[in-house]
Chains A and B, each alone.
Chain A
Amino acid sequence: MAQMTLYDFKDKVCFVGVGDTNYGALYRTKDPRRNQYTLGVEAFKAALDDAGLNKDEIDGLILVRIPSYQLFADMVGLRYLRAANTFRGEGRMSALAVQYAAMLICSGLCSTVAVVYGNDGRSVGATYGGEGEGSSPYDVLYGMTSPGAAVAHMWRRYMHEYGAREEHLAAVATSNRRHAGLNPKAVFRDPLTLETYLTSRYIAAPLRLYDYCLINDGAVALILTGAERARDLRKPPVYLTATATCTDLTFFYTVDDFFRDGVRRCAEAVFGASGLTHKDIQVCQIYDNFTPTVIFGLEGASFCKYGEGFQFVQNGRISLGGELPVNTSGGHTSESYMQGFGLHAENIRQLRGEAGDRQVPNCQVAMYICPAPICAAHIMTRR
């Protein structure tokens, strides 16, 4: 059998259903019954409805962050599946879970796969740092913890290497917030001014409060199926036109190339496989657990040269109406921290023309980029 390449994979799999939760409403309320599972079921139900599918048409179930696929399968009454598994609750896993779903479908192991992510971080008081949070025993001796501080190290180094200043990051945070103002489901929708940004407190300097992702409750479910089946479903199919991964696995989350080389390899692969170019990308979601990763991602994917990203993001270029709208739902710092899944949902909605006030006109080509220890990129399209 001939070896399958990335090119054979092209356009064989589509996103046909997307469901999520009202992040803003969840942020302002508490419910003792709310947890990763109940949130996940809510999103799953919404995604089925969106796709016009019956739950029994799902034959593959991939969970992310929700610890037990068995408990979840029981909750949604899916006993006989052809694939089920759980991925860790890490942001880098969103693209991987989508790739896994696509592989299940391409191989014929599954026909229609639901990828379900749930996060009850606000309800349970998640901190993403500190004792018992998986920090290295060598690092905690000095009080070093959290991915945010690891990215702060990279941003400090970046500023040193290229002459960027702290205020250059404000462009990313304020652009995200401007987009969230157009997103009724976003957690934080009030305008964020440069002054407010610059007077906000540091978490791990040089990063400030507004450079950090939210800690909130919510869930996202994505349903994928083969392209032929997709054409018969309720909504216009969104094609997973190309996707690629490149790891950058070292002991530290702080790496000296700021994940750009990994992103570059992914971007070269998806542009090569799709035959599309940078000019074709109408909207781009970049995994922004912390704002510097937007700059690292843009440089890695060659939207600009290494060292120019901090200038590239200025003057509205990455805002709606700009040359390359980035994180049009408000991203992880203003819409919701769904560890990449909200960004996937946003690309699907943009491509379907369902993004409401934040719609990119006639959106046909979207990109997802994740600069992280597992870098990834997708190009997603509609016809």
Chain B
Amino acid sequence: MAYEKPLPQPTAIDAPYWEYLRQHELRLPRCQECGHIFFPPNKVYCPSCLSDRLEWVKLSGRGKVWSWVVFHQRYFSSFANDIPYVVAFIELEEGPRLMSTLVDCDQGEIRCDMPVEVVYDDITPEFTIPKFRPIR
């Protein structure tokens, strides 16, 4: 069955992010001057010190649920069958936060600050997106 949800839209700047994900690696830019690691990877200058010396650093893939919501409203037709679906705001161990979702987890067991780890969802042959599951 075709994947109908929104797909990543790689740009010349964040293409490596998606390519690393396809290889099941979660990497984000790290500033070689000040060490800052940031999300989203849509920048060519470090937002902390404005250096352009960035490298793609491999992350632990661990983090925690900073917060989470459950969508009951239909905003996207491609998510209609998933309602009610979870969106979690994940705080990675290295600091950056990103929106994602949780898998292998009942809605009733989700808690703020719950430890999670990344799982790689190969949504199409071209794209893999990061999701998270509880660390048990």
Q: Which residues of A contact B (CB under 8 A)?
A: 127, 129-131, 136-146, 149, 152-154, 156-157, 160, 201-207, 251-252, 254, 256
Contacts and interface: CB of A to CB of B under 8 A. Distances in A.
Given A143-B75, A204-B73, A205-B84, A131 B6 contact: yes
Contacts of B70: 202, 204-205
Contacts of A254: 67, 89
A142 B99 contact: yes
30 contacts: A130-B76, A131-B75, A131-B76, A136-B40, A137-B8, A137-B9, A138-B99, A139-B99, A142-B100, A142-B129, A143-B71, A143-B101, A145-B75, A149-B71, A153-B66, A153-B68, A153-B69, A153-B89, A156-B67, A156-B69, A160-B67, A203-B72, A203-B73, A204-B69, A204-B70, A204-B72, A205-B72, A206-B69, A254-B67, A254-B89
Contacts of B49: none
Judged by DSSP, the binding face of A is loop
A138 B87 CA distance: 12
A141 B76 contact: no
B98 A143 contact: no
A256 B66 contact: yes
A71 B122 CA distance: 49
B37 to A, nearest CB: 14
Leading 9 A-B pairs by shortest Cβ distance? A130-B75, A160-B112, A143-B79, A205-B70, A157-B67, A153-B67, A202-B72, A152-B69, A140-B6
A143 B87 contact: yes
Interface string B60-93: 0000001111111101100100101101010000
Contacts of B69: 149, 152-153, 156, 204-207
A203 B73 CA distance: 5
B113 interface: yes
Interface in B26-60: 39-40
B33 to A, nearest CB: 21
A53 B93 CA distance: 60
B66 A157 contact: yes
Interface in B102-136: 111-113, 129, 131
A127 B99 CA distance: 21
Contact of B40 (A130, A138, A140, A143): A138
A130 B71 CA distance: 12
B97 interface: yes
Contacts of B6: 131, 137, 140-141
A199 to B, nearest CB: 14
Given A137-B9, A153-B68, A156-B67, 5 more contacts: A131-B6, A143-B5, A143-B76, A146-B75, A204-B72
A131 B5 CA distance: 11
A138 B18 CA distance: 11
A73 B48 CA distance: 43
A144 B99 contact: yes
Contacts of A256: 66
B27 to A, nearest CB: 15
Contacts of A154: 67
A136 B113 CA distance: 24
Contacts of A137: 6, 8-9
A292 to B, nearest CB: 12
